[in-house]
Structure formats: C-alpha cells, structure tokens
C-alpha cells in the first residue's frame, strides 16, 4: 500500500478547504474565539491540537477492535486527556509565556468538538496510517483558520504581528488608532463569519439549496 495513494491524499488534504473542520463543519469554534487575539498563541494552539488529534487518532485506531462499543466515549476521553496533559506539561516546560496566555484552553482541548468528531467518525473505522493523516489534516485545517483569524485580529487590534510592530508609527501620528473591538471575542466571530462567507462564495458546491 502506497503511503500517499489517492484515498490517503484526500484524507489529508480535504480538511484543509472543502471539508474544513472550522469553517465547513463549524466545530471547535470556542477555542477559535478564545485564543486568536494574538498570532503566537493561536499557532501554538493549532500545533497542540494537531499533535493531540494525530496521536489520539492513531491510538484509538490501533485499539479500535478491542474497545467495547458501550464505553468507547470514555476510552476516547482517557486517551485524549492523557495526550493533552503531556502537551500541557511540554508547553509549561519549554514555552511558559505562551502557556500562561493560553491558560485553560490547552486543558480544554479535551472538550474540543473536532477531537471527538474525528475519533468517532474516522479513527474508530479506519487503519492507523489513514487515521494519522486524518488527524494531521484536520489539525492543519484548524490551524490555518486560527492563523488567519489571529493575523487579522492582531494587526487591526494591536498593530503588531507575532509581537513585531507592522503598522508604521507615521499612521499613528496621523490619528490612526488600534481597534479595541478586535481584541474582544465578538470580532473573532465576525472574522470567522467573513472567512466562511468568502469560502462559500468561492466554492459553489458548499452552498445549501435555497428552498
């Protein structure tokens, strides 16, 4: 079996656009609102979710035949919780500042709907390698949207990008001011909505039939 045959390719790349977990399935919105005020925490969050999702998918996929159906949610939760704690500890050890900014939201990866969705819908019925790719793909799809939202919000809200000033001082001297609303969660919602708007108008097949 080729490592990247057509089926695996679509498993990996579909979640980036056509089947994006955030803007098409509208999952994982809470964290997309909470951690996207600045780009750096958003990227760290994206990488963390990708890592947890990929490994949880692999582990669940490996033991999928031995999990009793009636307790599968609990098994999934145990696996995810263990991985989240590992990620949390690594972040605390190597990037304490960002870990403090993300505060509870790393721990809340456990409740991220994307994780449960992928474990239920994919890992329970597929082999480890496609499950791994599915985790990476969905994680990246999530990260892309977080990065776009965070870029917009950080530039307009703080005038910086990854902590560097990108809006020239001359503009501030001319009377420009940072948009305080961009820092607040409502604008994250509206930014996500705008991305969905653009995405759907470019992909006609995603538009629902108007009855």
Partner 1 sequence: MKRSLKNYFDKIKPQFRPGGKFQKFQSVFDGFDSFLFTPNTTSQRIGVHIHDNNDSKRTMIIVVLALIPALLFGMYNVGYQRYLSIGTPEPAFFDAFLYGLLAVLPKIVVAYVVGLGIEFISAQIRHHEIQEGFLVSGILIPMICPIETPVWMIAVATAFSVIFVKEVFGGTGMNIFNVALMTRAFLFFAYPSKMSGDSVFVASDSIFGLGSGQLVDSFTGATPLGQIATSGSLTPAVTGITGNELSLWDMFLGLIPGSIGETSTLFILLGGLILLFTGIASWRIMLSVFVGGFVMAFIANTFPSATYPGSAISPLEHICLGGFAFAAVFMATDPVTAAHTNIGKYIYGFLVGALAILIRIYNSGYPEGAMLAVLFGNAFAPLIDYCVIESNIRRRMRRAKR
Binding site for partner 1 (CB under 8 A): 175-177, 179-182, 184, 190
CB nearer to partner 1: pick between 133 and 148: 148
Q: Please, what is the minimum distance in Å from the beta carbon of residue 123 to partner 1? A: 37
Contact, 195 vs 149, CB < 8 A? Answer: yes
From the list 137, 125, 124, the residue with the least C-alpha distance to 53 is 137
Q: Report the C-alpha gap between 158 and 155 in whole angstroms.
A: 6
CB nearer to partner 1: pick between 184 and 206: 184
Contact, 49 vs 143, CB < 8 A? Answer: yes
Q: Please, what is the minimum distance in Å from the beta carbon of residue 60 to partner 1? A: 40
Q: Which helix (H) or strand (E) holds 165?
A: strand 164-165
Alpha helices in the chain (DSSP H): 6-13, 29-34, 39-62, 72-94, 96-102, 104-107, 113-121, 128-158, 169-173, 185-202
CB nearer to partner 1: pick between 144 and 195: 195
Residues in the chain: 211
From the list 46, 104, 54, the residue with the least C-alpha distance to 80 is 54
Q: Please, what is the minimum distance in Å from the beta carbon of residue 152 to partner 1? A: 14
Q: Please, what is the minimum distance in Å from the beta carbon of residue 184 to partner 1? A: 6
CB nearer to partner 1: pick between 111 and 179: 179
CB nearer to partner 1: pick between 43 and 196: 196
Q: Please, what is the minimum distance in Å from the beta carbon of residue 83 to partner 1? A: 38
């Amino acid at each position: 079996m080729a490592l990247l045959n057509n089926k695996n390719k679509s498993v990996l790349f579909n979640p980036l656009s056509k089947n994006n977990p955030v803007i098409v399935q509208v999952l994982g919105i809470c964290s997309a609102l909470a951690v996207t005020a600045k780009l750096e925490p958003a990227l760290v969050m994206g990488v963390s979710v990708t890592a947890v999702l990929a490994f949880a998918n692999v582990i669940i996929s490996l033991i999928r035949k031995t999990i009793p159906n009636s307790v599968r949610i609990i098994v999934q939760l145990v696996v995810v919780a263990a991985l989240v704690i590992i990620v949390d500890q690594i972040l605390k050890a190597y990037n304490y500042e960002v870990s403090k900014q993300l505060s509870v939201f790393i721990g809340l990866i456990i409740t991220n709907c994307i994780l449960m969705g992928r474990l239920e819908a994919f890992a329970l019925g597929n082999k480890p390698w496609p499950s791994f790719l599915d985790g990476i793909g969905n994680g990246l799809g999530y990260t892309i949207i977080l990065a776009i939202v965070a870029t917009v919000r950080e530039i307009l809200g703080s005038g910086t990008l990854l902590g560097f000033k990108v809006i020239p001082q001359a503009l501030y001297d001319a009377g420009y001011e940072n948009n305080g609303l961009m820092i607040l969660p409502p604008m994250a919602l509206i930014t996500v909505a705008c991305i969905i708007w653009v995405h759907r108008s470019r992909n006609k097949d995603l538009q629902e039939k108007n009855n």
